[in-house]
Amino acid sequence: MPSMEELMNELLRSHTEWDEGHKATPAPIEQAPAPEEEATFVGSQHQVGDEIADEDGNVYVATQDSYYVSATDAADTEDGFDAQVKVGWHTPTLLKSQVSQVIVEQVQAGQASIVRRSGVTCIQFPDENQPIPLNDLAYSTELGLYQKSKF
């Protein structure tokens, strides 16, 4: 009959062989999803330029004053567009960036307005015939705010 020491050595050897044959794989690191460029916050009332943080810590800038959606408005929208709409204050926003800061400054100064065309958020300048989709705008220190599709 093997001694206690021999049994312990055999147990240690078998565990060591098993450990060497199996590599520990670290648990995958959960990455936060990339933040949306545009978001609409429902709840509190905000004005153009207000900064709003989401639950992930991303900071957005209000591009329009909040508007109130009543129960009647929500029901009408839901019936007409097969969409679910929450009752309360809605605030359209952009992810905070140099582009969004310039857009907000233009809107606050009355030099532009935010409009929606065919489900796309755009900026309308008085001297432009067509509104410009916000996702077509970029910023550089040399040019300032510019339309990407024109370069």
* pTM attached to this predicted model: 0.68
For residue 115, being part of any structural domain is answered with yes
CB 147 within 8 A of CB 136: yes
Per-residue pLDDT tens over the stretch 46-70: 999 999 999 989 999 999 999 999 9
For residue 64, being part of any structural domain is answered with yes
For residue 7, being part of any structural domain is answered with no
Percentage of the chain surpassing pLDDT 70? 90
Tally the domains of the chain. 1
Tokens of 93: 């926003």
Q: Enumerate residues 6+ apart whose C-beta is below 8 A from 67.
A: 89, 90
Alpha-carbon gap, residue 61 to 45, rounded angstroms: 13
Query: What per-residue confidence (pLDDT) applies to 98?
Result: 92
For residue 27, being part of any structural domain is answered with no
Per-residue pLDDT tens over the stretch 66-109: 999 999 988 888 777 777 889 999 999 999 999 999 999 999 99
For residue 30, being part of any structural domain is answered with no
What residue numbers bound the domain in which 118 lies? Answer: 35-150
